[in-house]
Amino acid sequence: MPPESATAVHVVASPILVEVRRGAMVESRHRGAIAIVDLAGRVVEVHGDIDSPVYPRSAIKPLQAIPLVESGAAEAFGLSDAELALACASHGGEPRHVETVAGVLARLGLSEDDLECGAHFPMHAPSANALIRAGRAPGPLHNNCSGKHAGMLAACCHFGEPITGYIRRIAAAMLAEPFMLAGSGRFCTRATEIAGGKAILKTGAEGVYMAAIPAKGFGIALKIEDGAARAAEVALAKLLARFADLDRLQRAALRELIEPAVVNAAGLTVGAILPAPTW
């Protein structure tokens, strides 16, 4: 018997959303929670435990970019769609990402030394390998958050301006420049390209994703319990196929993201990651 002081905790088991198969056998299963809400904040659909708090991580970078536009800084410094999209990004540190952030800082009269995001090797493996071959250490510009920090510095360098229309500007930039959101081969970039303006989405660490379906006025929040990005991407791809009103060609293109192949070191397809049949 538990001690009298113990408090019973009711835990809602989140459903299995994604399976990883190797051959005919299910090798791994990922549980997760999903909340879909409308513009009024009413819950339209729920899967699993949506009441337990989670860190939203980088999935809310587009919200963090609002002051950049709200303050008038984006207009005052002439930020392009590419630069504003980069302020919402978890980019791969590819040359175009790094050069774009450096350009924003130069326009502010600042440098890489003013970024407080720290440094890590680019998430884009060829770019990281290029640094290593050149004998160079990564700097803050290569940090996947450097675009966001450059945007914050821009807002800090500017003072209050009209806020009318700020949400439209951020969404338009993300849709116009999907490469800046992530980079080559990354889910955020590819899914945004496929959806063709029918969905706005952003990844976060530890299996978090957010998406908006403008035509329906729906917002989607997704969290995979074990933090697996591979499961979060598959689950979100399925939700896009269901809610984003994609046409036949878009749905066909999205199939590669809904059921990505598991490939071994020899380049052979040995399985797949796909939505669980029970979901």
CA–CA dist 230, 217 (Å, integer): 26
Looking from the CA of 20 toward its CB, the CA atoms found within 13 Å total 13
Mean pLDDT confidence for 113-141: 96
CA–CA dist 148, 100 (Å, integer): 12
The pLDDT assigned to 159 comes to 73
Q: Is the predicted pLDDT of residue 43 greater than 90, yes or no?
A: yes
Kindly report, residue by residue over 181-226, the tens digit of the pLDDT.
Answer: 999 999 999 999 999 999 999 999 999 999 999 999 999 999 999 9
Q: β-strand 43-47 against 218-224: which pairing, if any?
A: unpaired
Provide the pLDDT confidence category of residue 1 given band limits of 50, 70 and 90: very low
The helix or strand, by DSSP H or E, that contains position 262, with its residue range, turns out to be strand 261-263
CA–CA dist 79, 145 (Å, integer): 17
pTM equals 0.86
Are 117 and 143 in contact, with CB atoms under 8 Å apart?
yes
Beta bridge partners of 35: 46, 221
Mean pLDDT confidence for 254-276: 96
Q: Residue 160: what residue type?
A: G
User: What mean pLDDT value characterizes the chain?
Assistant: 93
Kindly report, residue by residue over 150-170, the tens digit of the pLDDT.
Answer: 999 999 999 765 556 667 889
Are 218 and 44 in contact, with CB atoms under 8 Å apart?
yes
CA–CA dist 204, 59 (Å, integer): 4
